[in-house]
Chain A
Amino acid sequence: MLAATDISNPGYSVLFALLLFIGASVWLGTLAQKAMEKKEFLKGFFLGNRGLGAWALALTATVQSGGTFMGFPALVYSHGWIVLLWIGSYMVVPLLSFAVVGKRLAQLSRMTDSFTVPDLLRERFADPRVGLISSIMIITFMSFTMFAQFKAGATIMKHAWPGSGVLALSEDYEPNAAEKAESKDGSASTSAKSASKPIDRKYYVGLVVFTVTVVGYTLIGGFLASVWTDLFQSVMMVIGVTILVCLAVPMAGGLEQATKTAIANTSPDIAFGPGYSTIGRDFLTPGLALSMFFIWIFGGFVSPASMVRVMAAESTEVMRKSICLLSCYNCLIYIPLVMTCIAARTMLPHLDKPDEVIPRMSMLVTEGLPFGPFISGLILAAPFGAIMASVSCFILVISSGLVQDIYVRFLHPAATEAQVRRATNVSMISVGLIAVIANLDPPQYLQALVVLSASGGGAAFTIPVLMACYWRRTTAAGMLAGMLVGFCFYFGLSVAGWIQNWASAAPEGSALAQSVIHFLGPDPKIGVPGLFRPYYILGIDPMVWSLFVSAIAGIGTSLVTKPPSEEHVSRFFDVAVAK
């Protein structure tokens, strides 16, 4: 039975909720524009005049992209309780995000009067190369991460269209059900052929609507618009998750019963490490669990997006409050999400696509409630909001890099404010256009670049940023070495993994594939499946190794190069006190 024909089906309410989100974001964008008027353009637009309060900082500095909120529930559904260990280091992420480099970055960024990370590093070492290299790296990494978000945003819009895809279909939906149903009325020949085309058109419409909205409100309101919409969606997210867990767990007969039912429906593996798996891979071996406790921490606090927001914090008091707020927020998001997805194994024991667990659960548990479709629409709109918020943040960091670090620093140092403003508009619109073009027909290797840029950024920046903040002896050459070696090592291990994957999948007789496997070893059968699994030395993720290598390269190079001038370093480290 198709529910798509029913006027009150979730499709309309999801579309309605999305439009509500879009409307609210544009409204926040115009508010933000008013808030930053009559201030210096660049600092106001890209840094909100350093006036972020505690709520804005806490809920926007480290919250992950929308993909996390769709991918994470799918992992729990597929592998079970062990995923709470996978995400376990989030218990200390808020503390580490603000307490390790937060205060010092805020101080350095004010001392150097800089509002982008490359600008800060450039001034700190008085070396344009450091600025240029870090700028190119940040722009590249963030671009790839952002392009994938566009696709996710467009896909959600496509599904929200009433009557298309799973979100609008009732529980007994199965792939091709629409075509099967129609073939019974004898109209199959025409509809089956055209079935793929309108869906694609919806994807393009979704892509364009998504891009115009996000680029639009970011262009209008700049940094503050980005932060405020992010805050708005974070609050919606926690409300959605709370409603969901309060309805889902009792429906499954309580948490203990939910686990027992999940075990009965799958296997005892779902309640233990290394996790339930239907494809013979160990999801979370002890080595990978250890890796995750490094990856979330050290990939998080130096991500350019979160460093920029820390730089925008109003005061250190704001940072302190943010630690507390974000700690509580994480508790309310991750543990309930895991509980919900364990309960999902009771109500929806065998989903073909685990990605759909949250959309389906939210429709299922709100069924029969007053305003049920509307509530589920809001829950479903939350990931969409998360995607919008992170894209808008990425657009800002990328265009601030293009404008400040490339245009103002290298191409046109004497630019007037009107020219800078025009350059900003041009760069943001071009970023949007490029993203649309890249997503018209995304190549498969895009996914590899996304994974690579997300963790590669952490591998490249963690150690250099720590050195820049706290170590007097750091030299510009040491910074460059730390960044480049960290990234290249990560890149090398990733490529080795892809080659290993290729060799494992190659036909038996291939001599080249045999020698590759002989050299690299067989597929270790750990982690998530996929073409772009990296190479694990000793079962540890490449990110951890890259951090060590980056530290050795950065510290070693600093020690063998000429120490920076005492006068320059003193500017950032010392204060003169009258005796």
Chain B
Amino acid sequence: MPDIQELPLLKSAKREAMVALGIWLAATIYSLGYCFQYGYGRDPESLTYVLGFPDWVFWGLVMPWGACTVLASVFAFCFMKDEELPQSVQ
């Protein structure tokens, strides 16, 4: 007698969706937190530059942007699972 199981694609898709949403949440909290802390209401005299970017832009946006790009690539090539897509019926 056949056993009923959840589709394998559904299982991996759920897991990947959770991880992706987790990365989004982490990026949001970090970027917004950093920029609110150092980008708003700051004394203009205290501004320093990193590679030409204002310091809060670099550490709050450019750096996490790069990190997310690397992370997305790791996600794509090492974590996300390939599944067979069903052939269209008919």
Contacts and interface: CB of A to CB of B under 8 A. Distances in A.
Q: Specify which of B6, B71, B73 lies most central, judged by the most chain A CB atoms within 10 Å of its CB.
A: B73
Contacts of A85: 31-32, 35, 39, 60-61
- How many B residues are at the interface, by size bracket? 35 or more
A462 to B, nearest CB: 12
Given A95-B75, A110-B87, A273 B61 contact: no
A95 B19 CA distance: 10
Interface in A162-187: none
B51 A255 contact: yes
Contacts, number: 195
13 contacts: A50-B88, A85-B61, A92-B72, A99-B80, A100-B21, A101-B17, A103-B13, A107-B10, A111-B89, A286-B40, A290-B32, A315-B82, A323-B73
Contact of B83 (A101, A103, A570, A576): A103
A91 B67 CA distance: 9
Contacts of B8: 575
Interface string B18-33: 0111011001100110
Interface in A65-120: 81-82, 84-85, 88-89, 91-92, 94-96, 99-101, 103-104, 106-107, 110-111, 113
Interface of A: 43, 50, 81-82, 84-85, 88-89, 91-92, 94-96, 99-101, 103-104, 106-107, 110-111, 113, 249, 254-256, 258-259, 263, 268, 271-274, 286, 289-290, 293, 297, 315-317, 319-321, 323-324, 327-328, 330-331, 335, 469-470, 570, 573-579
The 3 closest A-B pairs by CB, nearest first: A255-B52, A268-B44, A99-B20
Nearest to A297: B24
Contacts of A470: 10, 13-14, 17
Q: Specify which of A88, A335, A573 lies most central, judged by the most chain B CB atoms within 10 Å of its CB.
A: A88
A95 B23 contact: yes
B54 A320 contact: no
Contacts of A324: 72-73, 76-77
Given A85-B31, A103-B9, A577-B3, A110 B69 contact: no
The DSSP consensus for interface residues of chain B is helix
Nearest to A107: B9
The DSSP consensus for interface residues of chain A is helix
Given A81-B57, A85-B61, A272-B54, 6 more contacts: A89-B27, A91-B69, A286-B32, A293-B28, A320-B76, A327-B73
Contacts of A107: 7, 9-10, 13, 83, 85-86
Given A85-B61, A91-B69, A272 B42 contact: yes
Q: Specify which of B12, B47, B54, B71 lies most central, judged by the most chain A CB atoms within 10 Å of its CB.
A: B54
Contact of B65 (A43, A316, A331): A331
A104 B61 CA distance: 31
Contacts of B19: 99
Contacts of A254: 52
Given A99-B75, A327-B68, A570-B4, A320 B80 contact: yes
Given A286-B36, A324-B77, A470-B17, A104 B9 contact: yes
Given A89-B27, A255-B53, A578-B2, A113 B17 contact: no
A328 B40 contact: no
Contacts of A578: 2-3
Contacts of B86: 107, 110-111
A273 B68 contact: no
A91 B27 contact: yes
A95 B72 contact: yes
Contact of A327 (B31, B72, B83): B72
Contacts of B71: 95
A95 B88 CA distance: 27
Nearest to B80: A320
Contacts of A575: 4-8
Contact of B28 (A89, A94, A101, A255): A89
A263 B47 CA distance: 11
A95 B20 contact: yes
A265 B83 CA distance: 56
A328 B69 contact: yes
A473 to B, nearest CB: 14
Contacts of B31: 85, 88, 91, 293
Given A256-B49, A323-B76, A88 B61 contact: yes
Contacts of A289: 32, 35-36
